[in-house]
Amino acid sequence: MPVGIGRFCLLASAFLLGVLLLDLPAATEKAGTCPSVDFPLGICEDQCEMDSQCPGKMKCCRNGCGKVSCVTPNF
């Protein structure tokens, strides 16, 4: 493979990776604290990974099933 093509592929890959990374949601933490979980109930699948994926003022917190979901925080 000619050196020019290898360098082009490397630069194109780096450019595409940069574009993908710019499209990621910001990992900002929202105000408030997650409510305590008093009983082992909840939706047993992860609904979010970070606060920025939750609507409005909701936070991504552990639920009673050991997974995470968007909930109203304590202030």
Topology (CATH) of 3-71:
R-elafin (4.10.75)
Can you say whether the dihedral through the CA atoms of 40, 41, 45, 46 is positive or negative?
negative
* Predicted pLDDT of residue 26: 58
Per-residue pLDDT tens digits for 2-60: 556 766 555 556 554 554 555 555 568 999 999 998 877 777 899 999 999 999 999 99
CB–CB of 34/61 below 8 Å? yes
Q: Which long-range contacts (CB under 8 A, 24 or more apart) does 57-60 make?
A: 57/30, 57/31, 57/32, 58/30, 59/29, 59/30, 59/32, 59/34
What percentage of the chain carries pLDDT values higher than 70? 64
Predicted local distance difference test score (pLDDT) of residue 28: 83
Q: Residue ranges per domain, the chain?
A: 3-71
